[in-house]
Amino acid sequence: MKIEKAYCIVTCPGRNFVTLKIVTDEGVYGIGDATLNGRELAVSAYLEEHVIPCLIGRDPQQIEDIWQYLAKGAYWRRGPVTMSAIAAVDMALWDIKAKIAGLPLYQLLGGKSRSGVMVYGHANGRDIPETLDAVGHYLELGYKAVRAQAGVPGLDTAYGIARGKLFYEPATKGLPEEQIWSTEKYLNFAPKLFEAVRVAHGPDFHLLHDVHHRLTPIEAARLGKSLEPYHLFWMEDPTPAENQEALKLIRQHTVTPIAIGEIFNSIHDCRELIQNQLIDYIRTTVVRAGGITQLRKIAALAELYQVRTGSHGATDLSPVCMGSALHFDLWVPNFGIQEYMRHTPETDEVFPHAYTFADGYLYPGDVPGHGVDIDEKLAAKYPYERAYLPVARLQDGTMWSW
């Protein structure tokens, strides 16, 4: 069996997605997610011009060798564009291999380690009452874990606050939106939000929060300590992790669990954080970390240090990535939780999938492969539209710096 052809499909059913399709000479095909929010066409061009020509004629079942060839054979290694492209290839090859075997992907990874994948939803509101209502809605849907975010008084907008309810997209079409940020207003407000959530809904569910890299280490330590009475499942991205020493300062001041890693694209990005036990959950994703092949290695390293997985799962990852992630989640022994932002009905129509939600858990299904496909004719009806995530400035107009 040989790879006969491969090509990219770029579509925008509400937001942009890049999908790689690899087809063998025996007609078996697999698909992989190559979406990089705000830089989608860079990955598509990387695949079309530099990766696909190297795949033609290769044995699609030699997944590890192809991964090593693409990741280490190039002089210019790593980076979000390169690793997103490699991830798409890797996902598609695992999809093909599982289809050839006639098995769901998780069986090739080693079988189930649990019956279902616990997920968390996003409860957002313009203010505390709206967020409380949203948390209550998710609990009514059966969620065991909820991320709570609310608009900060005195700020017109806040990143991560939904424009919709179950379905929302933080990127805006056209040019980047510039938002105003105030660390002090946020730090004074956040404990009030979580006190209100616990008073309204009690202690018997997992409560999460995303800081979106907006704090310095000592500010993050202050936040973590102030949130300790509310027993968060985790505090996500409290400070940018490029300076990994910074996490030591946070650890010295708070026992609130820390989750980091959604923008990481290599095991080396998180190696010291894991080995020094500066984090509790690693947020790396299938699409950003170079696929299932490298994510397995990251998880194996994390297991040695009692760090659990908690993969990013926002709508900037297509259902192809979500399907692949769920097979990984079902297998990985040191699983923690999976983020789950629901896609729009239009996206779900373009990407029919086998995974299902019930009572706070996602189930990947048992069809051969990773269980997600793409309707190419329907995808063609949604052409690419340029979009960016927002940019933050301080109240005096200074570009927020990290």
Residues noted as catalytic: 159, 212
Give the separation between CA 321 and CA 289, rounded to whole angstroms. Answer: 11
Asked if 364 and 335 count as a contact pair (C-beta separation under 8 A), the reply is no
Q: Do 214 and 189 contact (CB within 8 A), yes or no?
A: no
**Contact call for residues 91 and 372 (beta carbons, < 8 A):** no
Task: Quote the CA–CA distance of 24 and 276 in Å, as a whole number.
Answer: 44
Q: Give the separation between CA 38 and CA 176, rounded to whole angstroms.
A: 9
Closest by CA position to 91, among listed 20, 162, 197: 20
The whole-angstrom separation of Cα 255 and Cα 283 is 19
List the Cα angle 271/313/310 in 5-degree steps.
40
Runs of H (alpha helix) within 25-172: 40-46, 52-55, 63-72, 80-101, 105-109, 128-140
Closest CA to 246 of 271, 278, 268: 278
- The tokens describing 325, both together, are 């992630």
DSSP assignment string, 234-292: EEE--S-SSSTTHHHHHHHH--S-EEE-TT--SHHHHHHHHHTT--SEE---TTTTTSH
Vertex 356: Cα angle to 350 and 362 (nearest 5): 120
